[in-house]
Structure 1
Amino acid sequence: MHMNLNELAIHGGKKVRDTLFPAYVTAGAEEKAAVSKVIDGGVLSNYLGAYHENFMGGPVVRECEAEWAAYFGAAHALCVNSNTSGLIAALGAIGIGPGDEVIVTSYSMSISATAPLFYGALPVFADIEADMFCLDPASIESLITPNTRAILVVDLFGQPFDAPAIRALAKKHDLKIIEDCAQAPGASLNGEKAGLLGDIGVFSLNYHKHIHSGEGGILLTNDDDLAQRLSLIRNHAECVVGPMGVTDLRNMIGHNFRMTEIEAAIAMCQLRKLGGLLNDRWDRVRYFESRLDGFEGFSMPKVRDGAVHSFYVHPCLWNMETGVDRNRFVEAVKAELPCFELREKEGVKLGAGYVRPIYYLPAFQQRVALGGNLNPLVDARQDFGPGLCPVAEDLHFNRLISHEFIVPSMQESDIDDVVRAIEKVWDQRHKL
């Protein structure tokens, strides 16, 4: 059967590219050597959940924490086993409890909003900025009540949140700021590094982030008391608060949120590569944007004044005036392109939107969480129905296009293929 080379792949034509895009792999010889050293030493984890010098972990964990603290200029860095654990520990450290309210984003990975539920607190969803995707200060301010205790911000896609405005709100209302900077290592705002823009910052080291140790997370804070409480929640606080003389026992029932010596060894090696990987990522962003300069289908991402954006993904905004359905356009471009090596099961890394607004999850729609119904105050606060956060909904369902074709493994020739696919579909958009 004859195949029309110009026909869209979604209609049976030949794809722009069949060969998989190169895998984004950040681990190499340095990590192998570091892991071998740990294994040869015979101690894969050195934590004890008891009042002992090893309560704070083994030598590699402590070395990793010192290196991360020095890199970011933080008074304290603490290793944990995930960003999820870190966010839970952070809310526990600031004393969140039943009846408290935490203002959260409507648009992120779920834990960015569900973490308060672990303490019987109520997440209150705020809307996001239409062009930079972080929490909107005006939306936050409209939701503050006497029960509000904290704001859990997210540096979404690598964009630092509006720290001056949100810090002013926090100061005015005596609130703590927890910064979920999972997607923003190396980002900064007005010279201040992401991770230190709030009271506690939490990074992710799971496998598809800028740098990773397989799984893992890093907490940063400049507050001595919060650092101690984070370390207690990380490792069975209840066993040591007595001999340590800790008198504030709120949330002093600990977990096993501990990072292994192997993960810590990898995390140190990865941190040393961060600067180079970010430079490579920025080069890809510049090249992608230059190749689509003047493209009328979508606009390129906006970076906050004074900010360094780390571009976990490259978020673009669809031009609604084209009259072309965004979802259909994205599906047609995806049909022209391959997956990344090692991530074949995840599909082509191009999305119409990012994640559904978090309040669409069954836990909120059905009002059932840990141990039963959500906090009974929920009915008086938000109904979790469509329209709760109109900007987030509009972005997700109509306007946002996100992609990962700017990772450092992508060469200019790879990006050229992506651009060719976009141009091919755009030229035949009347067929969609």
Structure 2
Amino acid sequence: MTIDTDSTLALFGGPKSIDRVFTRYNPIGAEEVAAARGVVESGVLSQFIGDWDPDFFGGPKVQEFERKCAAYFGVKHAITVNSWTSGLIAAVGAAGIEPGDEVIVPPFTMCASATAILHWNAIPVFADIEPETFCLDPKSVEANITPYTKAIMAVDIFGHPADTDALMAIAERHDLKVITDTAQAPGAVYRNKFAGTRTHIGGFSLNYHKHIHTGEGGILVTDDDVLADKLRLIRNHAEAVVAGMGVTDLTNMIGYNFRLGEIECAIGIEQLDKLERLVARRQAVAALLGQELAGLEGLRLPMVKEGCTHSYYVYSLVIDPDTLGISRARLVEALSAEGVTGLASGYQNVHLLPMYQQKQAYGSRGFPWNSELCRRDVSYAKGICPVAEDLHDRTYLGFAMCLHDLTDEDVRAIGSAFRKVWCNLAALK
């Protein structure tokens, strides 16, 4: 490892390590432009009808994109939605979650993972995460199961798959459904299958900073015919469709307009063709960045569990402030001054958001927690998820690879910036 020893930190007036602005990540090309133009010229921007009709399933590009997604990910059903938040809401509803049921979810995630549970008047229960992958810890899941638990929501955070087999084994023992939030990990692999495809319902985000995108959107995947029908119904005005479709189980058949348009799906068809290449490039960048940062004391690089691949939505680092002798905030200040953009100090701990601390979601009276639906006092106190909390408070340092289209030269410049800061730790104290 080469250590840069001849420069004053930019924080103290020295030259910056990085003298360029990284290129914004943008996988949209001429193919997507042509596909979108073709839809506009056709005049068919959407073809959904909220009734039991052939157009209940959407227009030609919606259905083509869904067929291609099902084939690509190796599942029976792929259902498009207008956002992954909509997808999560549909998934919880299709899983048959009742008001007052408990759903276990990690706190170290985007807030929609848990909000989708509250949407159905169910109760999020937060289980801790693994310190290596930041995904849901099966041991903590087992410890949080109660007679009221009905589902587990795993999150393939930052691009690494959760331990799906362990979670499915727990679910089988306790008769639970498992939903996988694979928003950040399309193309990652867990034991020879794509992440998000080994549970009852999974899916991916298509919003603008994901690996492939259509601006906004999401893809639900499942091998279960019944769940697939429920997902489609919730997506498209279920209450108006069930009679004509012959559906008699009206559980959670409250429908929405979660429909994705023809333009987005035409773009998605082209984007899907690029997914393998785009993920491979992220993995190559991560490998080079790992070489650049190897050997820096007090810095732990991302790990990838055996049998898994990582799609690197975020390059996740863990620092040891005691070894470094400085705080994470001071370290980020120095790295940012050197020109390293896209650094994240900590990551959201959802259970500590005001809604959970005050237990107030619907209305002003604390519903659903203060109602008869909530059958026990669920704790959201700080301390219930110590691994996630310590990562957020002190040790987690994320580099948002999703924001940039990095060249090898960019990666080496980032490595130089890190080495320069590490060489000058004493000056930062």
Considering the TM-score relative to the shorter chain, is it more than 0.5?
Answer: yes
**How far apart are 1:371 and its partner, in Å?**
2.9
| 1:55-204 aligned within 5 A | 55-204=56-205
Partner of 2:383: 387
Contact kept, 8 Å, 1:405 with 1:415, in 2: the verdict is no
User: Match of 2:14?
Assistant: 13
Q: Quote how far apart the aligned CAs of 1:389 are.
A: 0.6
| Cα distance in 2 for residues equivalent to 1:350 and 1:9 | 17
Any conservation in 2 of the 1:314–1:406 contact (CA below 8 Å)? no
Among 319, 325, 328, the residue aligned to 1:326 = 328
* Partner SS state of residue 32, structure 2: helix
Aligned ranges 1:365-376 → 2 under 5 Å? 365-372=357-364, 373=366, 374-376=368-370
The alpha-carbon deviation at position 23 of structure 1 amounts to: 1.2
> SS state of the match for residue 91, structure 1?
helix
In the other structure, the counterpart of 2:43 is 42
Go from structure 1 to structure 2 and tell me whether the alpha carbon gap of 1:361 and 1:64 turns closer, same or farther (over 3 Å shift): same
Runs of 4+ in structure 1 off by over 6 angstroms are none
Letter in 1 for 2:347: Y
The one-letter amino acid paired with 2:91 is: A
Letter matched to residue 239 of structure 2: E
* 2:347 corresponds to which of 354, 358, 367: 354
Shift in Å at residue 319 of structure 1? 2.6
Query: How far apart, CA to CA, are the structure 1 residues paired with 2:20 and 2:375?
Result: 52
Q: Bigger CA drift: 364-373 or 176-185?
A: 364-373
Q: Could you tell me which of 406, 409, 414 is aligned with 1:410?
A: 406
Structure 1 residue identity aligned to 2:48: Y
SS in 2 for 1:152: strand
- Offset of residue 366 of structure 1: 1.4
Q: How far, CA to CA, are the matches of 2:99 and 2:33 in structure 1?
A: 45
Verify: 1:400 aligned to 2:392, yes or no: no
Q: Quick check: 1:100–1:121 contact (8 Å CA) kept in 2?
A: yes
1:419 to 395, 399, 415: 415
The match for 1:345 is: none
Q: Distance in 2 between matches of 1:141 and 1:38?
A: 49
SS of 1:307's equivalent? coil
Per the TM alignment, residue 15 of structure 1 is displaced from its structure 2 partner at its CA by 2.0
TM-superposed CA distance for 1:233, in Å, is: 0.2
Native 8 Å contact 2:293 2:419 kept in 1: no
Q: CA RMSD in A?
A: 1.5
Q: Deviations over 1:138-182 (max 9, x none)?
A: 110011111111001100111111112111100000000000000
- Give the aligned residue type for 1:157: F
1:335 maps onto 2:337 in alignment: yes
Is the contact between residue 124 and residue 381 of structure 1 (CA under 8 Å) also seen in structure 2? no
Cα shift at 1:200 = 0.5
Q: 1:381 and 1:129 mapped to 2: Cα distance?
A: 25
Take 2:290 and 2:34, find their aligned partners in 1: how far apart are those partners?
38
Between stretches 20-29 and 395-404, larger displacement belongs to 395-404
Query: C-alpha distance in 2, partners of 1:257/1:405?
Result: 29
- Paired residue type of 1:349: G
- Report the Cα distance in structure 2 between the residues aligned to 1:174 and 1:118, rounded to whole angstroms: 22
Q: Structure 2: 5+ residue runs without aligned partners?
A: 1-5
Q: Take 1:385 and 1:155, find their aligned partners in 2: how far apart are those partners?
A: 24
Contact conserved, 1:100 with 1:148, CA < 8 A, in 2? yes
The structure-2 alpha-carbon separation of the partners of 1:305 and 1:378, relative to structure 1 and needing over 3 Å to count, comes to farther
1:237-289 alpha-carbon deviations (Å, 9 max, x no partner): 01110111101101111000000000001111111000111111111111111
Normalised by the length of structure 1, the TM-score is 0.94
| Identical amino acids, percent of aligned pairs | 49
Give the residue type in structure 2 aligned to 1:336.
E
* Count of residues in correspondence between the two structures: 418
Q: Is the 8 A contact 2:136 2:155 kept in 1?
A: yes
Assess, with a 3 A threshold, how the Cα gap between structure 1 residues 379 and 51 changes in structure 2: closer, same or farther.
closer
What is residue 356 of structure 2 aligned with on the other side?
Answer: 364
Deviation at 1:330, TM superposition (A): 1.5
Which residue identity lines up with residue 368 of structure 1 in the other structure?
Q
Q: Could you say which residue in structure 2 is the equivalent of 1:341? A: none
Question: 1:382, 1:388 within 8 Å by CA — same for their partners in 2?
Answer: no
> Cα deviations across residues 39-87 of structure 1 (Å, max 9, x unaligned)?
1111100001112110110000000000000001110000100110000
Mapped partners of 1:405, 1:375: distance in 2:
38
- Equivalent residue for 1:342? none
Report the 3-state secondary structure (helix = DSSP H, G, I; strand = E; otherwise coil) of the residue aligned with 1:60: helix
Per the alignment, in what secondary structure is the counterpart of residue 43 of structure 1? coil
1:239 aligns to what? Answer: 240
Partner of 1:54: 55
C-alpha deviations, 1:84-127, integer Å up to 9, x for none? 00000001011112110000111100011111111110000000
Question: Amino acid of the residue matched to residue 369 of structure 2?
Answer: N
Specify the code of the residue in structure 1 equivalent to 2:244: P
TM-score, scaled relative to structure 2: 0.94
- Mapped partners of 2:376, 2:306: distance in 1: 37
Distance, in Å, in 1 between the alignment partners of 2:294 and 2:354 is 41
Q: Kindly indicate whether the alpha-carbon contact (under 8 Å) linking 1:121 and 1:375 is maintained by their aligned counterparts in 2.
A: no
- 1:430 aligns to what? 426
Q: Distance between the aligned counterparts of 1:388 and 1:293, measured in 2?
A: 33
Helix, strand or coil: the match of 2:109?
coil
